Amino acid sequence: MKARSAFPERGRPRGDIAAALAEMREADADWRGGRVPLYVFGALPEVEEVGREAFMTFFSENALGARRAFKSLGRMEEEIVDMALGLFHAPADGAGVVTSGGTESILLAVKACRDFARARRGERFLHGNLVLPETAHPAFDKAALLMDLEVRRIPVAGDLRADIAAMANAVDTETSMIAGSVPCFPYGVIDPIAELSELALSRGLWLHVDACVGGYLAPFARDLGRPIPEFDFALPGVAALSADLHKFGFCPKPASTILFRDTTRANAGGFDLDVWPSGRFTTRTLVGTRPGGSVAAAWAVLNHLGREGYRAIAARLIAMRDAYVAGIEAIPGMRVFGRPELTIIAFGAEALDMAAVAEDMAARGWVPGLVRRPPGLHIMASLLHEGVRDRYLGDLAAAVAAAPPASATGVAADY
Ligand SMILES: Cc1ncc(COP(=O)(O)O)c(C=O)c1O
């Protein structure tokens, strides 16, 4: 058994602490060098600095106090949400909140959906289920576990997008939510949100659009003429949309936005508790204390980049994606799964042992992103991966050339 670390009796000086942190960090993967295909999303060094400066300016402030003490944070949060509502074509009554990430945004959406359905459908609607493409993020299942809801994961169609007919078949009187991703994490493809919107309207369901990955990238790729289908509140069946600022919004973690079509739906996602001696406790987030730094940093980055800045980054990212796809497809036997629409690319070779390819890539210094079905590798690329493309593709070609034939074990994807 591992020895338990002791709570030190005497503290260590600041310099020692900094040195210890630097030393521990030496064992980490080199994300700045483009070796990590997810977790960190790099734009440009200046954008990182703008975010860092704003974060540190509000390092100690608590966004829980945004209404009563830190009005600056309240104002910034309102402006962030307004910008997002505008970007995603929300009606005038749209509302939203800044959260700690995609998981919290989805959790709040599921709670809002459940409570909205209960209020509308009355007592007889007690439990409820969510009908999702199998590619939806496990955050929906976390929410369902916490709220005792059932999740029905439906196999995707041949193009790896949500199978609308199969989802429609899985809907019953207890269904409250259907969802689609923009794009889904496993394959990087965008679900047919317009068709999901029609399904939602025809069956009286709440459609959640999980644009956690693509929310702050897809609109700008679309501006550039890329064939990104409509996915936001312009579609009348979309009830809520999650979009992460800390992914392709290039804001410091933790930061996401959850947006609702109207204030009634938004209010259903919040908490209004009058239960203890201290009086009424209301939050629109799950968490109480929230870092003021991430609200300030998100405000700073959005204003620093503006639509123009995001468009310029989107242009580079999409060109980079095309180059990665072409490079992967040029390796004999390799196939890209589906048609990646933003910067997530999943790929593999049926005839090869992809677990061995992944191990070989790890030995060459890359943290391999993985897909289990079908066995393959996965990258969620940002500008951190622009400069290392040739090296990555060269190592991938070598790893593929050295790989044994496919084994029965597949790839053990473990996030
Ligand atoms: C499509 C999608 N939705 C939701 C999430 C959850 O986001 P977070 O890790 O910020 O909680 C992710 C994370 O990668 C994701 O890819």
pLDDT in tens, 141-183: 999 999 999 999 999 999 999 999 999 999 999 999 999 999 9
* Beta carbon of 197 within 6 Å of any ligand 1 atom: no
371 vs 344: CA distance, rounded Å: 12
Res. 135: pLDDT tops 80:
yes
**Mutation test of ligand 1: which of 41, 98, 185 has the most ligand atoms closer than 8 Å to its C-beta?**
185
Query: Residue 121's pLDDT band (boundaries 50, 70, 90)?
Result: confident
- Please compute the mean of the pLDDT values over residues 3-28 and round it to a whole number: 97
How much is the pLDDT for 122? 79
Radius of gyration of the chain (CA): 22
pLDDT above 90 as % of the chain: 95
| Separation of alpha carbons 385 and 323, rounded Å | 11
* CATH level 3 topology of 307-401: Aspartate Aminotransferase, domain 1 (3.90.1150)
- Whether 241 lines ligand 1, by a CB cut-off of 6 Å, is no
Quote the CA–CA distance of 313 and 220 in Å, as a whole number. 9
Cβ of 382 less than 6 Å from ligand 1? no
* End-to-end Cα separation, the chain, in angstroms: 24
How many residues are given for the chain? 415
Mean pLDDT of the chain: 96
* CA–centroid distance, residue 44 to ligand 1 (Å): 22
- Residue of 208, 210, 244, 371 best suited for mutating to test ligand 1, as the one with most atoms within 8 Å of CB: 244
Confidence of residue 261 (pLDDT cuts 50, 70, 90): very high
For residue 102, the CA-to-ligand 1 centroid distance in Å is: 5
CA of 185 to the centre of ligand 1 (A): 8
Over 90: is that where the pLDDT of 413 sits? Answer: no
Q: What's the whole-number mean pLDDT along residues 269-276?
A: 97
Contact 296, 71 (CB under 8 A): no
Question: Does the pLDDT value for residue 410 go beyond 70?
Answer: no
Name the one residue in this structure whose structure tokens are 């999650």: 242
**Per-residue exposure over 134-154, b if at least 16 CB sit within 10 Å of its own CB, e if not:** ebbbebbbbbbeebebebbeb
Q: How far is the C-alpha of 289 from the C-alpha of 64, rounded, in Å?
A: 5
Closest CA to ligand 1's atom 8: 102
Alpha carbon of 113 to those of 122, 179, 191, 199: distances in Å?
Answer: 13, 11, 20, 16
| Average pLDDT value for residue range 200-225 | 98
Does ligand 1 have an atom closer than 6 angstroms to the CB of 212? Answer: yes
pLDDT of residue 125: 67
> Is the beta carbon of 139 within 6 A of some atom in ligand 1?
yes
Averaged pLDDT for residues 301-305: 98
pLDDT in tens, 315-359: 999 999 999 999 999 999 999 999 999 999 999 999 999 999 999
Q: What is the atom index within ligand 1 of the atom nearest the CA of 254?
A: 10
**Ligand 1: residue whose CA is nearest its atom 16:** 185
Query: Could you tell me if the CB of 102 is within 6 A of ligand 1?
Result: yes
For the chain, the structural domain boundaries read 52-302, 307-401
Q: How far apart are CA 37 and CA 389, in angstroms?
A: 12
| pTM of the full structure | 0.97
* Residues ≥6 apart with Cβ < 8 Å to 339: 159, 189
DSSP 45-108: HHHHHHHHHHHHHTSS-BGGGTTTT-HHHHHHHHHHHHHHHHHTT--TT-EEEEESSHHHHHHH
How far is 259 from 88, CA to CA, in rounded Å? 9
What CATH topology corresponds to 52-302? Aspartate Aminotransferase; domain 2 (3.40.640)
* Residue 348 bridge partners (DSSP): 335
CA–centroid distance, residue 138 to ligand 1 (Å)? 8
Token output for 108: 């709040």
pLDDT for the residue 126:
67
Ligand 1 closest atom vs CA 105: 11
State whether the beta carbon of 244 lies less than 6 angstroms from ligand 1.
yes
Residue 130, both tokens: 């969510």
CB 63 within 8 A of CB 81: no
**Atom 7 in ligand 1: which residue has the minimum CA distance?**
102
For the cut 70, the answer to whether the pLDDT of residue 78 exceeds it is yes
Alpha-carbon span 338 to 188, nearest angstrom: 8
Whether residue 88 has pLDDT greater than 80? yes
Q: Is there an atom of ligand 1 within 6 Å of 163 CB? A: no
